[in-house]
Amino acid sequence: MIALCEVPENHGLPEGPVVACINKEKVERIGIIKEKPTAITDSNGRFMLTQVPVGTYLILFHMWPDKITSSGNERYDIILTEGYLDENYQEITASGKPDFWEKGGIIIEGNANWNSQEGFTLIKGQVISNSLGFCFSIRDKRPHPIIKVQSDSIVEITLTTYF
């Protein structure tokens, strides 16, 4: 299942790395997960979304869409924020708030870096929300892919996943 996370134009994306050990005190909002439109990929991983409102979006995906519909508790219009890595740099700490990281998250696959200025940061990879099951990619320390949808346009993307 593919879903969109709206990145408000007036807010922009956070300046720092999206998943890092330095985010604990300065977690910033990335966007809001939208209920529609959504799509299910075909056997080749292709999908099409129509009637997408004009805006900027991060593409999210869910590996097990049947778990969303069978649970009966779909959760949309919730906030996606930067994630804070635990002391072992393997999991994203639970926020305890009704957001993307409410129950924390896991780095599925990734390349990371440590330096004295930024601490430990995820540079490239895939993360998943423990509470929602949605994943997103990270490239160059930032959420990926971010797309801009304009009126009467077609946008082609390649969604790269790391496992």
Q: Is the pLDDT of residue 154 over 90?
A: no
Q: What's the pLDDT tens digit per position in 113-142?
A: 888 878 899 999 999 999 888 999 999 999
Q: What are the b/e assignments for 120-146, b being 16+ CB within 10 Å? A: bbbbbbbbbbebbbbbbbbeebbbbeb
User: How many Cβ atoms sit within 10 Å of the Cβ of residue 112?
Assistant: 20
Alpha helices in the chain (DSSP H): 65-71
Is residue 65 over pLDDT 70?
no
Whole-angstrom distance, CA of residue 65 vs CA of residue 72: 12
Own/partner pairs, 42-48, CB within 8 angstroms, 24+ separation: 45/159, 47/2
Tally Cβ neighbours within 10 Å of residue 48. 10
**Mean pLDDT (whole number) for 87-96:** 90
- Dist. CA 100–CA 80, nearest whole Å: 5
- Please give the full DSSP string across 82-125, using - where no structure is assigned: -EEB-TTSSEEPP--SSSTTTT-EEEEEEEEEEETTTEEEEEEE
pLDDT at 153: 83
Contact predicate 92/85, CB 8 Å: yes
CB proximity list for 113: less than 8 A, separation 6 or greater: 120, 121, 123
The closest alpha carbon to 79, from 145, 11, 140, belongs to 11
Average pLDDT over residues 24-43: 87
